[in-house]
Structure 1
């Protein structure tokens, strides 16, 4: 292993300076500029705008003043946090937690402006207004139309048989992708007229050993904001770009020497940020000094993410 490139990064990729000192849990680009926020298990605030944590509180940092204020409260750890407001409206924040609650917050008020009791603990959430999707324990999925944010438009079960790890809304707002620990992704359409287009597929599996397949969790699904294609990231140390409409793989990048825990595209789709670190699948004993926590930036080429001509 090259000591200067311990994770076998493509030479065109750039490592973020001063990454969190512990595993990164989530990455998010600003929708207005190429500002990247990272949340981590190291309790640092870094450059985050809003964050939710195991202390049951949601907090916001004013980047201009550096001041932190509490803007949300749950009775259990907050697992998911997203801005869900429409363009040019008041900033509305959605939080979902292990207390089985989804809450909406107007940042000008202390109390939530809406609450929803979830069937189980929240595991993943995504929103592209007016579509919001919350995935919980026991494979439950709730779909909301933000015109009626406190009543689920649809409550269903994941098409995948094992625990949900991630969910991501289609850029056309007509469905969502869901990933699980079993190395599968489900593409689900919401409109009853096209629900029969929904399908699931296997990915991030090692089949190099005859009669034996090693299955890796799908940690993250991120949709490209321009082309609507998507990327999956996994514990197998890889990220792959896919075209759901053509049902084909666009680009499989070389595997890295560490789990890819989370990833996201920039608002213009030209950058792909991904975090490598320990995934805690082996408990605390697996978190050794050999594990490096880092964030990388990959310059996205059109031929990696643009649907191919049919």
Structure 2
């Protein structure tokens, strides 16, 4: 694939980063506020545009995931099995409830007004955060999964659940009695992340094998003929392939192109429709743990944070970069058709 290498500018480095591994970061849907969760037991709210830390909640154990509720409050998932809502404007913390094992991921559906949590206890749970205090009033339902939940993604009323064992379950949040679709990842090895397309037609899956699969919900022969997988975050050295896990996928909200981040410290931008890589940014200090575009796609937040894929060893400090995005980096290039002779 033809690729343009961006000049070696990694972006603006945010002050006061977490002191241990970054587990996720998310931009708000309403502003340039950025929510960051970490193994250092904290969840932080930044104004990424102003490079200001707006607030910190410190909890009793590692925070494995986070997502926004509104512009000044967010949900967190913890190693202590707990699901929380942290309100940075009031400084108040609410415990929505718990799982029976660490809670790996949280997603909020604005369409359904529900929080969805996925746990290593092999369940997902749906919560109504508008309910009264106490988990019995907030918990809508608990749904068994074939294995430990590794990643969730929501698009409208559709929920995609990726678990260990390469299982993929697709649900309609309006009827959670059973999955709409039960699939197996087309990638051969462990799933690291799943993200729905902005247009709601499918989802992308990244795995530890340095590959991404592009999948579609339409089960017709024509629909399934569109799916494909491609190699990324790999390099050849001394005649052998070195493969890096794909930790993060983030879709551009305007153009539908997407960025991938790997343990090679690289961020690539892809045009999925035309099956081309648009950009590769200069290498970051260590593994890319998470990525997020802001609401209009002008900014990309990058978590450069070692994910211990090589074991416990000295590594660069955890850092959050926010880079300004130029249209040429993310806008699909038109197909060039040969001129008739």
Q: Could you state the TM-score of these two structures normalised by the residue count of structure 1? A: 0.92
Alpha-carbon offset, residue 282 of structure 1: 2.6
Deviations 1:36-62 (A, max 9, x none): 000000001322611001100011111
**Kept in 2: contact 1:114–1:150 (CA 8 A):** no
- Tell me the equivalent position of 2:59: none
Question: In structure 2, how many angstroms separate the alpha carbons of the residues matched to 1:226 and 1:46?
Answer: 27
Question: 1:5: which partner in 2?
Answer: none
Given the alignment, which residue of 35, 41, 44 partners 1:43? 41
Secondary structure at 1:21 match in 2: coil
Shift of 1:12: 6.3
| Secondary structure of residue in 1 paired with 2:230 | strand
**Residue 105 of structure 1: CA displacement?**
0.3
Does residue 247 of structure 2 align to residue 219 of structure 1?
yes
Corresponding residue to 2:234 among 185, 205, 216: 205
C-alpha displacement of 1:114: 1.5
Once the 2 structures are TM-superposed, how far is the Cα of residue 84 of structure 1 from its aligned partner?
1.3
Tell me which of 157, 160, 165 is aligned to 1:130: 157
Match of 1:248 in 2: 276
Structure 1 runs not aligned, ≥5 long:
1-8
- Distance, in Å, in 1 between the alignment partners of 2:293 and 2:146 is 31
Q: Which residue of 2 aligns with 1:16?
A: 14
CA–CA separation in structure 2 for the residues paired with 1:293 and 1:50: 22
Measured in 2, the distance between the counterparts of 1:240 and 1:251 equals 6
Matched residue of 1:237: which SS?
Answer: coil
Cα displacement string for residues 276-296 of structure 1 (whole angstroms, at most 9, x for unaligned residues): 122111333x1x2x4210100
Mark the CA change 1:35 to 1:51 in structure 2 (over 3 Å): closer, same or farther. Answer: same
- Distance in 1 (CA, whole Å) between partners of 2:141 and 2:270 is 36
Shift of 1:121: 0.2
User: Within 1, Cα distance between the matches of 2:176 and 2:29?
Assistant: 22
Q: Structure 1, residues 262-282: CA drift from partner, whole Å, max 9, x if none?
A: 111111111000111221113
- The reply to whether residue 281 of structure 1 matches residue 309 of structure 2 is yes
Change (3 A) 1:205 1:68: same
2: distance between equivalents of 1:78 and 1:24?
Answer: 16
The answer to whether residue 300 in structure 2 is matched with residue 235 in structure 1 is: no
Contact 1:270/1:299 (8 A) holds in 2: yes
Q: Is the 8 A contact 1:115 1:150 kept in 2?
A: no
Equivalent residues in 2 for 1:125-204, closer than 5 Å? 125-193=152-220, 194-204=223-233
* 8 Å CA contact retained: 1:130, 1:173: no
- Is the 8 Å Cα contact of residues 118 and 125 (structure 2) preserved in structure 1? yes
Root-mean-square deviation (CA, aligned residues, Å) is 1.4
1:55 partnered with 2:80: yes
